[in-house]
Copies of this chain bind each other. A is one copy, B any other.
Amino acid sequence: MRSRPTIVDVAARAGVSKSLVSLALRGDDGVSPATRERILAAADELGYRSNALARALRQHRTMLLGVVVGSLDNPYHTEVVESVERAAERHGLSVLLAHGARRAGRMAARLDALGDLDVDGLVVVSSWADPELLQAAARRAPVAMVGRSLEPVAGIDSVNNDDERGAALAVGHLVAAGHERIAHLTSSRRPAGLARRAGYEHAMASHGLDRHVRVIERGRDEPAGPGLDAALADGCSAVFARNDVEAFDALDHAWDRGIDVPAGLAVVGYDDSALALRARPRLTSVHQPRAEMGALAVELLRERWAGRTADRHEVLTPRLVVRASA
């Protein structure tokens, strides 16, 4: 494996200076058509490929985008990551992926590693992140967060959907279908979860159903069964779950208990991830515009590169996708 040809090799072959090769390859128009031709031909013959590293070192831009994601096991996350990668590619950026950044310690380590690689920007896809960590990272490169922090973090752009509104859509749909005792199933104390819960409570109140508010809380790895059974025993006829994964759990439990969905229990999820279509019956779910969210995050970073200094916090509007489960 002979070592990769450089711009100098091309220059020698074309009989010009390395500087001119650089200009020609970058399409600068101070190069005469004839020599440009010659240079491109030489590059081609040698199989020259530019060294992105050297360019990055000199230009102070790597065209690298760091993407930090809590985990890939929730399809919603992977779909956001895919949309970020797609948008990045459109702008000639490559994505560096770090997953498993649930714990703050690991997230810090991954952010540092990405920073050392001089990424031009960072997208954090997570339902939560330590504000200080984000700000530390933002001192190196602009950061856009897809997902919520408790409140806007100074210096960090964000893209979100309106969780309260999404929750209201879900509750509204169930109320319209005649449900009154609507429970909320959640295992999250993170901002997105809390916002959906608050949205649920407000929506219940606005429909005059305060007295039927019932939140089924459980620990991260606790089963949903006991809480659901208790709610069912109290006449609860519908569940609005914090996300599709939890909705799936509710459907599973109904399946195990032989309860018909939606007749015996109506279920609405959140995210409208691939899971919603895999569920039986298919899951009615609040749709987050994922593709748009990823693209928007990349756009926010590009604006930062262009010089924007004011923070932007984008909140997109979710919509309800009605299927068979409610």
Contacts and interface: CB of A to CB of B under 8 A. Distances in A.
A78 interface: yes
Interface stretch (A10-18, A96-104, A172-180, A262-270): A96-104
A118 B51 contact: yes
Interface stretch (A37-45, A109-117, A315-323): A109-117
A106 to B, nearest CB: 9
A46 to B, nearest CB: 13
Given A53-B117, A95-B98, A116-B51, A72 B82 contact: yes
Given A73-B78, A252-B280, A118 B53 contact: yes
A302 interface: no
B49 A116 contact: yes
A94 B117 contact: yes
A305 interface: no
Chain A interface: which size bin? 35 or more
A211 interface: no
A54 interface: yes
B52 A116 contact: yes
A298 to B, nearest CB: 15
A94 B96 contact: yes
Nearest to A138: B1
A53 B54 CA distance: 8
B118 A52 contact: yes
Given A72-B72, A72-B81, A100-B82, A49 B94 contact: no
Given A82-B99, A97-B97, 17 more contacts: A49-B115, A50-B116, A51-B116, A53-B53, A72-B72, A72-B82, A73-B79, A73-B82, A73-B274, A81-B99, A94-B98, A94-B117, A95-B96, A95-B97, A95-B98, A251-B280, A275-B278
